[in-house]
Chains A and B, each alone.
Chain A
């Protein structure tokens, strides 16, 4: 599973970070989310999927 944040849509709701803080981090600068690695470790695949479904901006893309 790969995950990507569409930065032009992210507004820093931080629902992804709440869903899976191991994969999603919040920038100190503006509170927007980023991922350190686009490849999702298998044990986090479920939470990352929930994160995608939790984003009000639909800013998370899973492939």
Chain B
């Protein structure tokens, strides 16, 4: 459906939009609602200038046209300067692969990775995810207090990801911490530099473990990378490192954010929590609804490869565009009562996992980890209450819509005897 009558702002009339600003973080849903209604294709002068795609249809159309709008990133390790890529502004680090690649390079890499993250492959980790969740909960279940983020939603995805890679589990805090900080800490904060260092340390560790896997392969991702071939060639080290960072960055903090947001929501809406306790079969649909409503990965970017007109929207070659998935998922043209959480919403064609060729590789893994964490919480500490005064959300939701701290209390329960191993 084309709509040539959609208002398209021009670069001569920029708006003061900054997706990383604290003001945006506190009211992003209202900001996007107003944008969709009054000025759905605005231009912002921040970060060198970029368009904001706020309507579902526009975002889908752009995401489905990689030949016109691509994701590639150039990075100069000597200067630390980055250009292009899928974040605005780009991270001062090497390109992630396959997110920041295009065809034909993308094709072989994505095909190589697809069946390690398929629904069947993910199912193999379900028992381990449950075991690790049980072990994490065991660490605090007798005390009656915990921090939802530090004690559950941050460690679990990091642990499962480390396990899939084949890393020793005790290294998880370093990696989880680095990605966690990288997505919300302001660039000029010294902690941001520390976070980038943490990512570089992860790359060093991948390189070290790869050598060990070449000698003694196991059934893990590192062995798969070490022994694998793409388009008839073994993977070189730089490619493996860029793929590894993509997997880490894509799947750890996002799943943390989804689950953190859901925990706060369930605490504040006990009737919805009770609905999930009474009808556990609702969990898969509820999962999709929470993914839609919170859209943990709020938006990613594209660069126009050429001058192109898309349904009345004129782009110039080189234009940067922010695909605001968080806005798409509240678009009333696609979702009835989009600002409401309906646990049984169906169908639910949200694009929180993206659309087009770069659709989230880890979507099935994310769903599995989320559902595991939520079902174990509802089983073992169903009456948890977050402490409103201690809540600390991310100060920026320009990348991930997440939480820093969520202190909570609950009626203590028994350990089940699981340990992180």
Taking Cβ atoms with an 8 Å cutoff, the residues of A that contact B are 9, 11-15, 17-19, 26, 28-31, 50, 53-58
B114 at the interface (CB under 8 A from A): yes
B111 at the interface (CB under 8 A from A): yes
**A30 (CB) vs chain B CBs: closest residue:** B114
In the complex the two chains form, what is the Cα distance from A51 to B60 in whole Å? Answer: 18
Interface of B: prevailing SS: loop
Taking Cβ atoms with an 8 Å cutoff, the residues of B that contact A are 60, 64, 110-111, 114-115, 118-120, 284, 346-351, 353, 355-357, 359, 363-364
Flag if B349 contacts A55 (CB, 8 Å).
yes
**B350: A residues at CB distance < 8 A:** 56
* Contacts A14-B119, A15-B349; A56 near B355 (Cβ below 8 A): yes
Which residue in A15, A18, A30 is a CB contact (below 8 Å) of B111?
Answer: A30
In the complex the two chains form, what is the Cα distance from A4 to B350 in whole Å? Answer: 21
Flag if A31 contacts B64 (CB, 8 Å).
no
Q: How close is B342's CB to chain A, nearest CB, in angstroms?
A: 15
In the complex the two chains form, what is the Cα distance from A53 to B119 in whole Å? Answer: 21
Q: How close is A28's CB to chain B, nearest CB, in angstroms?
A: 7
Flag if A56 contacts B115 (CB, 8 Å).
no
Q: How close is B318's CB to chain A, nearest CB, in angstroms?
A: 26
In the complex the two chains form, what is the Cα distance from A30 to B112 in whole Å? Answer: 9
**B347: A residues at CB distance < 8 A:** 15, 19, 50, 53-54
Residue from A15, A26, A55, A56 having most chain B Cβ neighbours under 10 A? A56
**B355: A residues at CB distance < 8 A:** 11, 56-57
Flag if B111 contacts A54 (CB, 8 Å).
no
In the complex the two chains form, what is the Cα distance from A11 to B351 in whole Å? Answer: 12
**B356: A residues at CB distance < 8 A:** 11, 57
**A30: B residues at CB distance < 8 A:** 110-111, 114-115
**A50: B residues at CB distance < 8 A:** 346-347
**A14: B residues at CB distance < 8 A:** 119, 364
In the complex the two chains form, what is the Cα distance from A29 to B109 in whole Å? Answer: 13
**B364: A residues at CB distance < 8 A:** 14
Flag if A13 contacts B363 (CB, 8 Å).
yes
Flag if B60 contacts A56 (CB, 8 Å).
yes
In the complex the two chains form, what is the Cα distance from A34 to B346 in whole Å? Answer: 22
Flag if A54 contacts B348 (CB, 8 Å).
yes
**A57: B residues at CB distance < 8 A:** 60, 64, 355-356
Q: How close is A59's CB to chain B, nearest CB, in angstroms?
A: 10
In the complex the two chains form, what is the Cα distance from A14 to B362 in whole Å? Answer: 12
Q: How close is B176's CB to chain A, nearest CB, in angstroms?
A: 27
Residue from A9, A17, A54 having most chain B Cβ neighbours under 10 A? A54
**B115: A residues at CB distance < 8 A:** 28-31
Flag if B64 contacts A26 (CB, 8 Å).
no
In the complex the two chains form, what is the Cα distance from A6 to B353 in whole Å? Answer: 20
In the complex the two chains form, what is the Cα distance from A19 to B363 in whole Å? Answer: 16
Q: What are 17 pairs between A and B in contact, CB < 8 Å? A: A11-B355, A12-B359, A13-B353, A14-B364, A15-B347, A19-B347, A26-B118, A28-B115, A28-B118, A31-B115, A31-B119, A50-B347, A53-B349, A55-B349, A56-B350, A57-B60, A57-B356
In the complex the two chains form, what is the Cα distance from A14 to B368 in whole Å? Answer: 14
In the complex the two chains form, what is the Cα distance from A15 to B359 in whole Å? Answer: 13
In the complex the two chains form, what is the Cα distance from A50 to B346 in whole Å? Answer: 8
In the complex the two chains form, what is the Cα distance from A26 to B114 in whole Å? Answer: 12
Given contacts A28-B118, A30-B115, 9 further A-B contacts (CB under 8 A): A11-B359, A28-B120, A30-B110, A31-B114, A31-B115, A50-B347, A53-B349, A54-B348, A56-B350
